[in-house]
Structure 1
């Protein structure tokens, strides 16, 4: 039995979710964990993502994308874990507090947890960090609209479930 799959049972699904998003492919985001209600994503450092050339600091919009994607992935995992279905869950609101700039030349990690599912909204909290989650670059809370599983396109469903012939 695969212990990693037991601890992080939705890593594959979360990875396939991220791979469906063009901006995530361009940023080279990599899912490290997909748990029952959380996702951990790595954003590798790339000089093309620098917002301030004199400092080498990654642009804040890239950090926002990392946090939003991790949060959305956590929602996908949480809904699937609880209901065994996929839903489309666009971002309703995402509030980010930036605490410090990311250090140049180092990857940034985005950890997000879906901590509450209501009938129409999923609620998340997330942290972007580098060396320690205890020393965040940014903290975020978000809400995501829950849209019926019937609204998920068949190609998207197959891609997330790993059934697509295009993998």
Structure 2
């Protein structure tokens, strides 16, 4: 993959307002893989009694990371959009922990990319959530 494609993907992800609002930071990207961190923040809490992060924030992290992996794939087009993202939530993230999403674009057709993504908080071998997704790939004219 060219450094140019990587930089375009990085600039796009880092410029998304929801990424900034959720505190996401792109750690690695390239060759169909991406890793994005989302630090713990009180504004993301879904259960005030336990301090657990809302599943919607985890979902946004995983979707964004999956899209970044697609954008960085060597056969990626000029744009991508989520067609389907199935997320299995396995446990609550540990309050206070940074959540890390890691995505791999494992298959690319002319029009659709297929991705696996997991979210972890470093406190267990069991991920917080795991997902599979399909993303539209637009190649432009």
Post-superposition shift, 1:15? 2.9
Q: Distance in 2 between matches of 1:137 and 1:95?
A: 14
Superposition TM-score, scaled by structure 1 size:
0.77
Across the two proteins, how many residue pairs are aligned to each other?
140
CA RMSD of aligned residues (A): 2.2
Post-superposition shift, 1:14? 3.8
The residue aligned with 2:75 is 82
Asked whether the equivalents of residues 32 and 72 of structure 2 are also in contact (C-alpha less than 8 Å), the reply is yes
The residue aligned with 2:85 is 94
The residue aligned with 1:117 is 108
Asked whether the equivalents of residues 18 and 25 of structure 1 are also in contact (C-alpha less than 8 Å), the reply is no
Q: Distance in 1 between matches of 2:104 and 2:111?
A: 17
Flag structure 2 segments of 5+ consecutive residues without an equivalent.
Answer: none
Q: Distance in 2 between matches of 1:127 and 1:134?
A: 12
Flag structure 1 segments of 5+ consecutive residues without an equivalent.
Answer: 1-7, 151-167
Identify which of 15, 20, 26 aligns with 1:25: 20
Q: Hey, which of these two has a bigger chunk of helix by percent?
A: 1
Post-superposition shift, 1:10? 6.6
Q: Distance in 2 between matches of 1:40 and 1:10?
A: 16
Q: Hey, which of these two has a bigger chunk of strand by percent?
A: 2
Post-superposition shift, 1:109? 0.3
Q: Distance in 2 between matches of 1:134 and 1:18?
A: 28
* Aligned 1:62-77 pairs, distance under 5 A: 62-77=57-72
Post-superposition shift, 1:11? 5.8
Q: Distance in 1 between matches of 2:119 and 2:5?
A: 20
Q: Distance in 2 between matches of 1:88 and 1:134?
A: 34
Post-superposition shift, 1:65? 0.2
Post-superposition shift, 1:130? 1.0
